[in-house]
Amino acid sequence: MPKAKLVLKDGTIFSGESFGAQTGAAGEVVFNTSMVGYPESFSDPSYKGQIITLTCPLIGNYGVGDSNTDKDRISKRFESEKVQITGLIVSEYSENFSHWDAKKSLSKWLKENNVPAITGIDTRMLTQKIREHGTILGKIVIENKKDVEFYNPDIDNLVDQVSIKKPKLYKKGKKTIVCVDCGMKNNILRSFLDRNISVIRVPWNYDFLGAKLKFDGIFLSNGPGDPAILYPLHENIRKAMSLKIPTFGICLGTQIMALASGAKTYKLKFGHRSQNQPCIDQETKRCYITSQNHGFAIDEKTLKPGWKVWLKNANDNTVEGIKHKTLPFFSCQFHPEATPGPTDTMHFFDEFVAML
């Protein structure tokens, strides 16, 4: 394997070996503590612009499946049509893989998608550094390959890069929702179609009210980057809320709902990226174990009258979901659709469907 190194913006260097694409890359270095689910995570558009560090010590041992699609032409195994992460950092990569569904190695999949990766890194030390410092910019440098400049993904509209470019209809049942695609995971789409809901999937900045579409509810998807810069979407949702249309948001979607209502968001020190985050329902006191991938959160103190905190993270007490006290608006910061992770909150989709 060629030599490679991860260079952090503060000058710290971690040396290892390359097992992905032989190219440099730059972005925000984050960590994920999940033990499984790397094909689903790496294809999640919310990771756009990020170099992901996996704390699980052995990665690649069950390979990667194929990209077959289902009857609705949605990938059966991946959360988008390609690898979305900017780069990958692991402690030990396993070239030998074994799984009944595996078709290729992780290395081959990353190379096909032009994504660099490094093995042989002390990921425990790197993770501790991120926890103390906060997320930090970094770049992957491959031996004898062109160097790259540091890059801060927060300055760009990443949502525009991963959103669908024109509306698309998935025809199912009599009830119809508009899904605002900010980088929507495939299993969110599957979750609605499995419930016999027709979906009009629209770009993040599409004026679905001005287009005179006929629909019963609005869904706001997950996605990458800073939600505060998505001004056209804030305005579209603000108008929709004034019409009291049932609205459900997941991940970035919950931040958009807060911003549209007049609240504010902020960047977390190192974010939440794992499959075992405990969240407490403030109404029932029930604890859900959730799958998470986000770097921003809602500032509870800025919530406007009529809104309340519905869910909170049991680890750091940050807002994990909000509800309107009288109108049909609710959201969660984590991923009830899972893939990867637990399905404790899959019933949130049923609750939204019941509102339509």
In contact, 245 and 220? CB cutoff 8 Å = no
Q: Is 235 a catalytic residue?
A: no
Task: Quote the pLDDT of residue 141.
Answer: 97
Instruction: Provide the domain count of the chain.
Output: 2
CATH of the domain at 138: 3.50.30.20
Q: Are residues 100 and 174 in the same domain?
A: no
Residues 243 and 138 in one domain: no
> Which residues does 172 contact at the CB level (< 8 Å), separation at least 6?
192, 193, 196, 197, 198, 199
- Residue 213, φ and ψ in degrees, nearest 5: -70, 150
**Full domain range(s) for residue 325:** 158-355
Q: Check residue 171 and give its pLDDT.
A: 96
Pick the last residue of a domain from 99, 131, 155. Answer: 155
Looking at the fold, whether 151 and 204 belong to one and the same domain comes out as no
Specify whether 41 is located in the same domain as 180.
Answer: no
**106-122 pLDDT, tens digit each:** 999 999 999 999 999 99
Domain boundary among 155, 173, 198: 155
The residue out of 120, 155, 190 marking a domain boundary is 155
User: Is the domain of 207 the same as that of 105?
Assistant: no
Compute the distance between CA of residue 254 and CA of residue 223 in angstroms, rounded to an integer.
Answer: 11
Q: Is residue 73 classed exposed, middle or buried when 0-12, 13-18 and 19+ CB atoms within 10 A define those classes?
A: exposed
pLDDT at 72: 84
Active site residue 337: yes
CA 46 – CA 30 distance, rounded (Å): 12
With H, G, I as helix, E, B as strand and everything else as coil, classify residue 192: helix
Are residues 176 and 122 part of one domain? no
pLDDT of residue 84: 98
Structure tokens that stand for 65 in this block: 């499946």
- From 40, 79, 182, 251, the catalytic residue: 251
Same domain, 190 and 234: yes
Return all residues near 242 (Cβ < 8 A) that are at least 6 apart: none
Query: Both 251 and 269 in a single domain?
Result: yes
Q: Is the pTM of this model over 0.75?
A: yes
* Cα gap 41→235, rounded to integer Å: 30
Q: Are residues 221 and 337 in the same domain?
A: yes
Q: Where are the alpha helices (DSSP H) in the chain?
A: 38-42, 106-112, 123-133, 158-162, 186-193, 231-242, 252-261, 347-355
Q: What is the pLDDT along the chain (356 residues), one digit of tens a residue?
A: 899 999 999 999 999 999 999 999 999 999 999 999 999 999 999 999 999 999 999 999 999 999 888 888 899 999 999 999 999 999 999 999 999 999 999 999 999 999 999 999 999 999 999 999 998 999 999 999 999 999 999 999 999 999 999 999 999 999 999 999 999 999 999 999 999 999 999 999 999 999 989 999 999 999 999 999 999 999 999 999 999 999 999 999 999 999 999 999 999 999 999 999 999 999 999 999 999 999 999 999 999 999 999 999 999 999 999 999 999 999 999 999 999 999 999 999 999 999 99
CATH of the domain at 199: 3.40.50.880
What was the pLDDT predicted at 71? Answer: 83
b (16+ CB within 10 A) / e for 1-15 = eeebbbbbeeeeebe
Q: Do 81 and 164 belong together in one domain?
A: no
84, 206: one domain: no
* Angstrom distance (rounded) from CA 7 to CA 18: 14
Torsion of CA 231, 42, 32, 144, to 10 degrees: -100
The pLDDT value recorded for residue 67 is: 86
Residue-wise pLDDT tens digits, 69-94: 888 889 999 999 999 999 999 999 99
Q: Which two tokens stand for residue 62?
A: 């069950």
CA torsion sign for 52, 332, 211, 202 is positive
Assess whether 335 carries a catalytic annotation.
yes
- One of 234, 294, 324, 335 is an active-site residue; which one? 335
Map residue 46 onto helix, strand or coil. Answer: helix
12/66 same-domain check: yes
Q: What is the pLDDT at residue 77?
A: 92
Give per-residue pLDDT as tens, 154-197.
999 999 999 999 999 999 999 999 999 999 999 999 999 999 99
**CB neighbours of residue 244 within 10 Å:** 12
